[in-house]
Amino acid sequence: MKKNLIILAMVFMSSILSAKESGLSLSVAFIGMSMDYREYDNNIILDSEISTPKTGVMRGADLGLTYTEVLGNGIYTQINGYFNLLSGETEYVGSLLDSSQGYGSYVGVTKNILFDTGVDYQFISVLSHGYSLNFGIGTGYRAWRRELSPSQVEVYKWLSIRPQVGTTYSSPIFSLGVNLEYQYGIHPEMAILANSENSDITVNLGSADIIQLSIPFKIRLDKSLDLFFEYIYEYQTIEKSDTAPYILGGVEKTIYEPASTAHNSYVKLGVVFKF
């Protein structure tokens, strides 16, 4: 009897996953993000941008559109399009431009705007015991506007190729997933916007790559509506750029973007509308 119940439960779980219907879904979410960004030269820290209780987290919204196509036999594909926009302040710790006093000699507040958008194609295969495996490939665009002062505004931007893999456990009430994505930056650059002494200046970054771990959790409210929570951790690395001429105090100097790392954490809370 016990063996029969286990078999029935396995068949029931498999039928839940296999019964996924083709169609569209729209997700809308609030995002909160904390940042820990640091620049280095020869492994010596130059400056940092960190979310603190005083500055708070960066806030924004995320929109996503998904089309699901069921291929049969527990296999389906998805095309996902998404974009998110965040803004907020971080605490800058470093030094004034061209200063020799070193890290910590100047503390200020930086205004940030972060934009990320992309599209991906995923292949999902239903396994057993409520589990499924997904893998796919995507492309995206990322831009970060960093206003250290009205006269010093930097904009980082790049395209990226984004392979991904993950697994999801599903029940009649909820689903829980773990996904890993690698974002390989293509032609990353950083622009310093014009000020009273300079026109726009652009330097080419050595690289700009991101490893992203996400843990989405969904609760099924009914056939057309889900509530979801998602935690995302990002580790970002940027390699030192080439150099460009820059005028500072009437004197021509050389400027470059140092190597950097960033540990970013996101929390999303939203709903999914299924059509």
Confidence check: pLDDT of 162 > 70 = yes
Nearest to 77 by CA among 119, 118, 117, 125: 125
Q: What percent of the chain has pLDDT over 90?
A: 85
Q: What is the mean pLDDT of residues 67-75?
A: 91
Over residues 79-85, the mean pLDDT reads 97
For residue 72, what pLDDT is reported?
A: 85
Q: How confident is the model at residue 100 (pLDDT cuts 50, 70, 90)?
A: confident
* Residues near 160 by beta carbon (within 8 Å), at least 6 away in sequence: 118, 139, 140, 141, 142, 183, 184, 185, 186, 208, 210
Where helices occur in the chain by DSSP H, the ranges are: 2-18
SS3 category, 242: coil
The distance in angstroms from the start CA to the end CA of the chain is: 40
Say what the pLDDT of residue 52 is.
94
pLDDT digits (tens, 9 = 90+) for 102-129: 899 999 999 999 999 999 999 999 998 8
pLDDT value at position 14? 43
- Categorize the per-residue pLDDT at 20 as very low, low, confident or very high, splitting at 50, 70 and 90: low
Reported as a single tens digit per residue, the pLDDT across 221-246 is: 998 999 999 999 999 999 999 999 99
Is the overall model pTM greater than 0.95, yes or no? no
> What pLDDT is stored for residue 132 in this prediction?
96
The whole-number pLDDT of residue 8 equals: 41
> Where is pLDDT greater, at 155 or 249?
155
Whether 208 shows a pLDDT value over 50: the answer reads yes
pLDDT at residue 37 is higher than 90: yes
Residue 6 has a pLDDT of 42
pLDDT band at 5 (very low <50, low <70, confident <90, very high): very low
Q: Which of 190, 191, 186 is nearest to 210 (CA)?
A: 186
The answer to whether residue 177 scores a pLDDT higher than 80 is: yes
Give whole-number Cα distances, 179 to 70, 133, 240, in Å: 21, 10, 29
| pLDDT grade for 19, boundaries at 50, 70 and 90 | very low
Domain ranges within the chain, ordered by starting residue = 2-274
Q: How wide is the angle at C-alpha 246 spanned by C-alphas 243 and 248, nearest 5°?
A: 140
Average pLDDT, integer, range 28-34: 98
Predicted confidence band of residue 200 (pLDDT cuts 50, 70, 90)? very high
CATH code, residues 2-274: 2.40.128.100
Whether residue 9 is predicted with pLDDT greater than 50 in this model: the reply is no
Buried b or exposed e, range 9-33, using 16+ CB within 10 angstroms: eeeebbeebeebeeeebebebebbb
**Of 226, 131, 128, residue with least CA distance to 173:** 226
Range 176-184 average pLDDT: 98
- What integer best gives the mean pLDDT of the chain? 92
